[in-house]
Amino acid sequence: MDNEMKEFVAEGMKRYKEASRIMVLFGKSVKGELQDILSSRKNWGPFTPGETRKTRSTTFWHDYPLLNADIFGSISGKDVTIRVAVNWYQSESEYPFYSVSLESGYTEEHVQRFLNLAPETEGIFAIDRGLAFRPEPDDFDLRRDFDLLIDGFVEVLTDSGVLPG
């Protein structure tokens, strides 16, 4: 092990426990805020949240984080899951982008129809199974930005007439 790596590892041994605690606390805080954004939202267009307005979060890869929250409900009587996420994994910069997507209950054909109608305005763009937004790093307001993004998502969902398959 060269000296630079040895110094890095030695310093890491002193700080790892605290850094891990901070990383876990940060992740839980972001997930909690995302769950609150989902559960307190009033206008979902054709999507009806489940009666319990249950939300859930998962974590993918600590080295390429994607923090998210899911809300379960239905559209036209079919079960649907919608996910919001803070995504560093696919981000082209060190700052994440935000996304809202159709996670389950839709065929690939329905998702493609939805994406074809997605506007690319006000920093909102189509990605994977939904819409994404690149926030301004110096103007942090998670709720405001997700409200804007979800408004666009609901508008496309409503206007497209895309129903679960």
Predicted confidence (pLDDT) per residue in 105-159, tens digit? 777 877 787 777 777 676 888 888 889 999 999 999 999 999 999 998 898 888 7
Q: What is the percent of the chain with per-residue pLDDT over 70, rounded to a whole number?
A: 88
Q: Which has more confidence, 146 or 89?
A: 146
With tokens 């559209």, the residue in question is 75
pLDDT, residue 51, reads 67
Q: Do the domain assignments include residue 90?
A: yes
Taking the model in full, what pTM does it have? 0.84
Distance CA 69, CA 144 (A): 16
Instruction: Find the domain containing 64 and state its range.
Output: 3-160
Cβ atoms of 160 and 49 closer than 8 Å:
no
Q: Do the domain assignments include residue 165?
A: no
Q: Do the domain assignments include residue 15?
A: yes
Q: Do the domain assignments include residue 32?
A: yes
pLDDT, residue 132, reads 92
How many structural domains compose the chain? 1
E strands, the chain, in order: 48-49, 55-56, 59-60, 66-75, 78-87, 97-104, 124-127, 130-133
